[in-house]
Structure 1
Amino acid sequence: MTFKKNRNLHMNQKITIVIPVYNSAKFLHKTLKAVDDQRKASNWDLELVLVEDGSPDNSFEVIEKLAQQYSYIKAVKLSRNFGHQIAVKTGLSYATGDYIAIIDDDLQDPPSLLPRFFAELEKGFEVAYGIRKNRKEGEVKKTAYKVFYRILNSISDTKIPIDSGDFCVMTKNVKEKMLTLNEQNPYLRGIRAWVGFKQIGLEYERSGRIEGESGYSLKKLIKIAKDGIFSFSSIPLQIITLLGNLGLVISILFSVFTIFRYFNNEIEVAGYTTMIILLLFFSSLILVSLGIIGEYIYRIYNEVRNRPYTIIEKTVNI
């Protein structure tokens, strides 16, 4: 394929790019310039959906100014910080393009990669998702991500691609199917895998942030990890059964040991240490089991309340 053909590959398809925005006032103009440069280079009929996720800075004011410069911008301001996954899901609900892309606001997933991904949709794939080959993060964080993705893949009822994030492109058909899952705690890369269709993963080197620090605190990362595990795996519930069986085996063995000592006249009045150890062990099993059950009950409770998953405060060009 020649360069010229590649440039005009998507002339007949409307493109939507969804970008969740959080604390990006200082560098958002750089991200949008990169998007606009690629729009011109690829001759896209573009719609850019920006979802401002309750930032403490003036990100939405910056978006309003940029919307005057780039007429294809649609913007949504959430009433508070609902989290990255909810922001992306909200953006998808406003996307009207034939092809939809999801990228971050910090240029770690640069728009210049998108033509390569859109080319896979032209070949007949419904989803092309990014597989992070190298991450520009600390070793501890990279190791934690690597371990988590592999654990999730091994225990999940739905096979979620290893080292894949939210960065992807999809057809309008897949987007609509994903939005039929009205979950309060969505794990979008899991939902993307769950809906199926013809998908392909493409490796890429993830860039470092252009400026600032990630909005993903440890608390938010743990929440996303929990959403992935509890939404797509029943293994935690099976662990409770295993813990119960383990406790039963230990109880039987200890009972046999105690009876043996009784008939051999070895029973001593001093059994305080043994009793405390057993009490702590079984109490811990009970608390762990209740915690796991509680996670599932909380998610059931969230769903049956049937609250809207987000609240829109303000929009631009919508």
Structure 2
Amino acid sequence: MNLEPAAYQENKAYSRSLNGKKIPSLSIVVPCYNESEAFDACVKELDSVIQALISDNCIRPESVIIFVDDGSKDNTWALIKQASIQNSRIHGVKLSRNRGHQLALMAGLSTVTTDICISIDADLQDDTSCIREMVEKYMQGNEIVYGVRNDRSSDSFFKRSTANAFYKFMTAMGVSQVANHADYRLLSKRALSSLLKYKEKNIYIRGMIPLIGFTSDKVYYSRSSRVAGESKYPLKKMIALAMEGVTSLSVTPLRIISALGFITCIIAAIASFYALFEKMRGSTIEGWTSVMISIFFLGGVQLLSLGVIGEYIGKIYIETKDRPKFFIEEMTYEDQNESA
């Protein structure tokens, strides 16, 4: 006869799994910027996922959902606060000003205290049913699990084309990342701790995660349409994100400049020998067009090169200041860092 208290037996059940690995507590981190239209649906969906996983003994009861308000101009923060009052599982983090998706996500991740965490956008375009599969992959020994889109039929032709061009461009520039993976992923406590050790201010999380290493796997899903509201990543922001990723994680553009300069010098040398040869033959012809083309070409190359070099110098300047990446203005729970 088992004389152990029921509560103790229940706690033991949560402390083991089929392969002997401890059942984890989970935090779902959701960056939000002007997501008042999608917020209610997002809370309902993610909370139902959490409840189902707890009921099936896949995660521990202390699992939470952390919403990070990235300086929204609408009433997103008011909705987060209200939800946290109604549901103790909902936690809120408010940044002092808009810092962009990557830093907002990093702010939320810095407050995680659970065994594992999953980041997802509030628009619910990422399939939430994959959360269960991600947890299962973690229980199998993976410390990083990437959510990878294998179907973007819900996107417009322009969106699909620019997204594919984005990943190809990043690969060509030497940035190591998982194709068609945005910021929907699971991180173990050790992987998250390693990520937070990166102290640079210019961050591109999608490219930083593969640098960590550790055992990883992927789950595949079809991308859905936004549940509500408008996309927060138009072409302008996608280009800015690409530039941030390239200049933060790769020196390929600088090497391209060096190669371009070397090629230009070779062309100039050949052109000089040809001009000297023609001069000695006495068959040179005065030409305004060729001179102007040469000036514009070399001037354009020089300005482009200076712009790329200036981008790197600017990032070095920002890094040397060692300013905090963000400030947390308010939280719906206590005992967390206020800045990082």
> Shorter-chain TM-score category?
over 0.9
* 2: CA distance, partners of 1:233 / 1:314: 35
Equivalent position amino acid for 2:75 in 1: N
* 2: CA distance, partners of 1:80 / 1:36: 27
Are 2:275 and 1:258 aligned? yes
Report what 1:78 is aligned to. 95
Matches within 5 A, 1:196-275: 196-268=213-285, 270-275=286-291
Equivalent position amino acid for 1:77 in 2: K
Give the secondary structure class of the aligned counterpart of 1:310: coil
Report what 2:27 is aligned to. 16
Q: Is 2:127–2:222's contact at 8 Å kept on the other side of the alignment? A: no
Q: Is 1:25–1:58's contact at 8 Å kept on the other side of the alignment? A: yes
Q: TM-score, normalised by structure 2?
A: 0.87
- Across the aligned residues of Structure 1 and Structure 2, the Cα RMSD in angstroms comes to 1.8
Are 2:156 and 1:104 aligned? no
Equivalent position amino acid for 1:187 in 2: Y
Report what 1:292 is aligned to. 308
Are 2:36 and 1:25 aligned? yes
Equivalent position amino acid for 2:43 in 1: L
Q: What displacement does 1:11 show?
A: 8.4
Are 2:198 and 1:181 aligned? yes
Give the secondary structure class of the aligned counterpart of 2:36: coil
Q: What displacement does 1:76 show?
A: 1.1
Equivalent position amino acid for 1:233 in 2: S
* 2: CA distance, partners of 1:133 / 1:12: 29
* 1: CA distance, partners of 2:156 / 2:210: 28
Q: What displacement does 1:119 show?
A: 0.3
Number of matched pairs: 310
Give the secondary structure class of the aligned counterpart of 1:141: helix
Q: Is 1:73–1:317's contact at 8 Å kept on the other side of the alignment? A: no
Report what 2:47 is aligned to. 36
Q: What displacement does 1:312 show?
A: 1.7
* 2: CA distance, partners of 1:159 / 1:201: 16
Are 2:64 and 1:47 aligned? yes
Unaligned 5+ segments in structure 1 are none
Q: What displacement does 1:272 show?
A: 2.0
Q: What displacement does 1:111 show?
A: 2.8
Q: Is 2:130–2:219's contact at 8 Å kept on the other side of the alignment? A: no
Q: Is 1:127–1:198's contact at 8 Å kept on the other side of the alignment? A: yes
Report what 2:318 is aligned to. 302
Closer, same or farther in 2 for the Cα pair 1:75/1:130, shift >3 Å? Answer: same
1:279 to 282, 295, 316: 295
Q: Deviations over 1:223-268 (max 9, x none)?
A: 2111221222221111111111121122112212211221122234
Q: What displacement does 1:155 show?
A: 3.5
Are 2:155 and 1:137 aligned? yes
Give the secondary structure class of the aligned counterpart of 1:111: coil
Q: Is 1:18–1:91's contact at 8 Å kept on the other side of the alignment? A: yes
Q: What displacement does 1:12 show?
A: 3.1
Give the secondary structure class of the aligned counterpart of 1:212: coil
Give the secondary structure class of the aligned counterpart of 2:225: coil
Unaligned 5+ segments in structure 2 are 1-12, 335-340
Moved more, 72-81 or 145-154: 145-154
Closer, same or farther in 2 for the Cα pair 1:258/1:11, shift >3 Å? Answer: closer
Q: Is 2:173–2:253's contact at 8 Å kept on the other side of the alignment? A: no
Q: Is 2:201–2:325's contact at 8 Å kept on the other side of the alignment? A: yes
* 2: CA distance, partners of 1:153 / 1:256: 38
Are 2:102 and 1:91 aligned? no
